[in-house]
Chains A and B, each alone.
Chain A
Amino acid sequence: MMAVYIKELLDNFRDRRVIINTLILGPLMGPVIFAVMISFMTRQATERMEAPLELPVVGAEHAPNLVSFLERQGVIITEAPDDPEAAVRQEVEEVVLRLSPDFAEAWEAGHPAPVELIADLSLRYSGTTIARVRGYLNAWSGQVSQLRLQLRGVHPDLTRPINVQVTDLSTPESRGGMVLAFLPYFILITVFMGSMHMAIDTTAGERERKSLEPLLINPLPRWQIMAGKLAATTSFALMTLGLGLVAFVFAMGFLPVADMDMALNLDLRVAAWAFLLCAPAALMAAALLTILAAFAKSFREAQSYMGLVILVPMIPSFWILIDPTRTETWMTMVPLLSQNVLILDLVRGEPMNLAWVGLSLATTGLAAVFLAAIAGTLYNRPNLIFTSG
């Protein structure tokens, strides 16, 4: 078994393509995409919040008071396009404010005066702008209503029976955790990326080179040969995982966390915990991919299966992203899901629940051993050995 292990490592370390793909690109891809994505997102958000707001207004002459209020707030009122609906639809303008000729009339009569915001709410990027325009309009509306009440000798507080205050208990770490929601996926994927090439090379590749038949003639129980291969694949997965985590720790240093008023709790200590949590997943990924690849007759065929398997670790991550809930005990017993929730807890800076860690390690480890045992029996099937007949 050791002989197989050493040979597979030596064999694959000789392949420069493998080294570049799994040990350099694999671990780097996650952190780089992640860092670029996050810094881009935050920069976009802050820019949109702080950039001067340009607002095309149709019929500005109907409500000069409102328009001058907006201008005092720093809004740049621009000439409205001839066809505002078309302009928004073609994404020339994000929001257009339309004041109808009825505005003055309704205003005089003391009725709510119609103000129309034209926008496409399905365009996500326009959300911030719409919110800002709404905020200004509400502020003006509040001001005017206060003045009106005061004119009639009514205390404006009468219209505010309650005063809602939110006490935000979030810490910079927990706000950082929100941003890092996708981190577990990027960590878990390194395990799959790291074992992918090796899993194919040691099984489908061996078959394609027709070296499997001579190999199995050696006086070794077949499960031992498979165990050596699995151990080598798992080693690669762990290496990729370790390198990926270190790369993440460094990538976090480049993020403009201070601007976001949050702390990213991803130091080497957290990385070590994450490594421990994902270690059984490495064996699981290695065994899963090895089983799949063993059924393939060639490298290419195996690769086409792998594309789908890479999606597997995504499922729990997406689920958590779509339906964020508190970590519960049952979650820590589901492989891949447990790594997701526990890594999230880690980066939120919450104290580790050792029982949960234990459950996660045990259940994932069990699943991994189960898959590995299946892999161990594969070479007892003649149809997986011979390239033909």
Chain B
Amino acid sequence: MISAYVKHKIFQNMIKKLSFIGLIIAFTFLYANAQFLHYGVKVFTSPYLEMEFYQYDNNEYVFYFANEQNETIRFDGLDTSLIRSFKPYPAVYVRYDFNERWFLQTEAYYFWFRNEASYENSVDFSEYTNTFNSQNNQEILNYNSMQLKWRFSGLRFFGGYVFMKTKSLRPYIFTGFSFMFLMSLKPGDTYFEREYRNFIIFNHLATFARVTLHNTSGIGIQYQGIRLSTYTLRSALPIDIYAADYQNGIKLTIDDPHPNYKYMFGQFISLSVNLYSKHTTKPLKF
């Protein structure tokens, strides 16, 4: 039987091949039809980003810690309230316009955020805080939650159509796909006296796939070289390294690693500006 880890490696290789083929197709298209080449920068923000957590039966995904409180932990979700902000993230892009109506764009972006994995704790809160409050800071006692610090980079490929090309303000729509690369995942502030227990909890949360594929689509409006757009990202394939086992209906035992992340969905707003544009009437040569 192929282990979940091996399946994940196969999945990763498949993604790599797909991305390379995608690049070849995109630039072949450009070779045939390109008219304008733009290089630009972009800032974007994510007012809403959601990670859906798998839900399990009461006794299926539980940590039974052998300490004098018989502490028992059961995951129940992710709190994304921490990331509902307008923090700006950077991106750079390359864009080809065809007759100022159709366009293809690829961009590289980087963003980071924090959210909280929440869990039920069998110990009474009063008992817990009486024991762990040496710094009088109940925010980071990790009683029933743990902050997760995420860092992603990504490559987004999409094509679109521009309306009213004779006007100064031109609305447009676009759709495509994006690869997201998990660059870093760390626990946030944790209570120092509970490091071992927190380490175990975090280890079991570190199952987000390193490379994930997402659908993206959105609308925007452009004025000369400046564009304002809003778009969504939604995971197109499983984003958890153990998701394949679970989704194939394999019954997991208590000891088996469990997938945590069911899907990811984000709403973004971006502002971009062309820094350099080139009129390319001649076919490009490879």
A and B from one complex? no
